Amino acid sequence: MTEYKLNIPAETAYARRWAFSFNPRYYSFEHLGGDCTNFVSQCIFAGGAVMNYTRDTGWYYRSLRDRAAAWTGVEFFCRFIINNKSVGPFGHLVPLEDASTGDVIQLGDSIGYYHSLLVIDLREGVPYVAAHTYPAYDRPLTSYTFERLRCIRIDGARRW
């Protein structure tokens, strides 16, 4: 198995291109709980990550009815990324002050985490993000309201 870094400029270019519209290759989950993690997964895939087709616990998208929960679900995405020892993207949690371009920030409340954002830039220590569900590109994290957050560093990906 080979580990490699993702192409962050490709991720952010994809985010810029599709932040305010939907890539027709993917179903829009806008009215099925939100499209935020689907969008973040698409960005990471555009950055060169390969899909992990492990049934039920992988990270992949073929269609609305053939996809992993980690591709579209906030909690499943985090669990996959930080526990993945096989093919596909992998990473770990970092403090917000260590955030960097290409990281994923997830917002939460007392019930759980509910929204995924892709960090596309940092200015004076403030992450600027791209997102779906509430379409955004180059939006400061400080403009969001949330009770808690976590920052997921995408360390890279693995392929066979």
Polymer length in residues for the chain: 160
pTM of the model: 0.98
- Structural domain range at position 86: 2-159
Token pair, residue 15, equals 């985010």
Residues (pLDDT < 70) of the chain are: none
Q: Give the helix/strand (H/E) hosting 104.
A: strand 104-108
141 and 126 in contact (C-beta within 8 Å)?
Answer: yes
Q: How far apart are CA 160 and CA 151, in angstroms?
A: 27
Q: Please tell me the distance from the alpha carbon of residue 137 to that of residue 150, in angstroms, as a whole number.
A: 19
- The domain total for the chain is 1
Summarize pLDDT for 40-51 with one digit per residue, the tens.
Answer: 999 999 999 999
Backbone angles phi, psi at 102, to 5 degrees: 95, -10
Spatial separation of the C-alpha atoms in residues 133 and 121, rounded to whole Å: 20
Instruction: Count CA atoms closer than 13 A to 82's CA, side-chain side.
Output: 15
Confidence at residue 15, expressed as pLDDT on a 0 to 100 scale: 98
DSSP classification of residue 118:
E
CATH number at residue 17: 3.90.1720
Among 45, 7, 15, which residue's Cα sits nearest to residue 138? 15
For residue 42, what pLDDT is reported?
A: 98
